[in-house]
Structure 1
Amino acid sequence: MRHILARSELCLGCKSCELACAVAHSTSKTLFQALAEPKLPQKRIFVESNGEQNFPLQCRQCLDSPCVHACMSGAMQIDIKTELIQVDSQKCVGCMMCVMVCPYGVIAEIPSIRQVAKCDRCLDLDYNPACVSACPTKALQFVEVQEFTHSGRRAFLELMKGVN
């Protein structure tokens, strides 16, 4: 299964991924129209920074899925077909239990409707998730874990070659 994985050393903190995510989850699917929507679209990825380093965070699709276990209404579910944790907005009662137990802090409240939003990997798109496509430095990648780790090892070897 492919995952959205991040190379923090490449992240500029530009937040292009956040913007693309919000637009992809808007009704209109275009930036200028999304800004005019009565309910502003909600991003599902968060770029955090400590001033020197930046890191994009989104749902990690935890195997133990604390959000699913904490959800009292059954709105957080593991989709059997995609194996992704999804939110059923028809069932969400806005209790925020999933927000409280998420170890990464990436489940967000949609205040206007008192429900939650989390990364759904843009399942309605036929290609990369919007955040990955928008990243100008390719810090975000939509790849198999083995491919990601292999490319990390190759990058380390290239770095070491330059040190010698």
Structure 2
Amino acid sequence: MAQPLEEFLIYIDPSRCVGCRSCEIACAVEHSLSKSIYASIFEEPRPKPRTSVVVADSIYVPMRCMHCDPAPCVKSCPTGSMQRTDEGFVISDPSKCIGCRTCLLACPFGHPSYSRAGKVIKCDHCVDRFRTGLPPACVEACPTGALRFGRTEDLLMEEKRRRALELITGVVGGVIYEKASSGFLSLIGR
């Protein structure tokens, strides 16, 4: 049985994003035919990322589909190409897409995009990876932890703990380590 989406979250921390665009590359490769960073550059049409890093006031912000509920793109799609999975992810079925782009106009975040193949593409939350227990490709590729994936409750508790440590120690945005019982140091803050 599929786990509902509301239990899971991609946590975006713009303060950790350095604009490396690893998330974009991983997304494009994940959605390529070859699933290979080397082979995908020779594919036609070239794979396109479904996530993007934008710059806002000199701050890098990873942007992706919010999988709205209700989703304006799903409501506006005349063919049913835009649909919600059992897990709650909003996906586009290319076999049903006629390329009319009404979903692009309906999305308040501007996330579906038009591909060279004449179809609309968007973040599918790497639903196939999710179903096998893997995080989305963008999260797995992020070298700084700007993107984290997990149960909503766990990620919110982690953030509360981080903020409490900042309050207690007076170190805001710093890196705080604690010695784990195994003898290794583990990161517990920024």
Specify if TM > 0.5. yes
Q: How many residues align?
A: 162
Q: How far apart are residue 160 of structure 1 and its match?
A: 2.0
Larger Rg: 2
CA RMSD of aligned residues (A): 1.4
TM-score under structure 2 normalisation? 0.80
Correspondent of 2:94 among 84, 89, 102: 89
Correspondent of 1:101 among 106, 109, 114: 106
Structure 1: unaligned runs, 5 residues or longer: none
Aligned twin of 1:31: 37
Q: What amino acid does structure 1 have at the position aligned with 2:105?
A: M
Distance in 1, matches of 2:48 and 2:141, equals 16
Of structures 1 and 2, the one with the larger relative CO (CA 8 A, separation 6+) is 1
Correspondent of 2:117 among 93, 101, 113: 113
TM-score under structure 1 normalisation? 0.92
Percent identical among aligned pairs is 35
Correspondent of 2:54 among 37, 48, 53: 48
Structure 2: unaligned runs, 5 residues or longer: 1-6, 172-190
Distance in 1, matches of 2:15 and 2:161, equals 15
Q: Given that residues 45 and 117 in structure 2 are in contact (C-alpha distance below 8 angstroms), is that contact kept between their aligned partners in structure 1?
A: no
Does residue 158 (structure 1) correspond to residue 143 (structure 2)? The answer is no
Q: How far apart are residue 71 of structure 1 and its match?
A: 0.6
Query: SS at 2:138's partner residue?
Result: helix
Q: Given that residues 89 and 127 in structure 2 are in contact (C-alpha distance below 8 angstroms), is that contact kept between their aligned partners in structure 1?
A: no
Query: SS at 1:55's partner residue?
Result: strand
Distance in 1, matches of 2:10 and 2:121, equals 17
Moved more, 51-60 or 129-138: 51-60
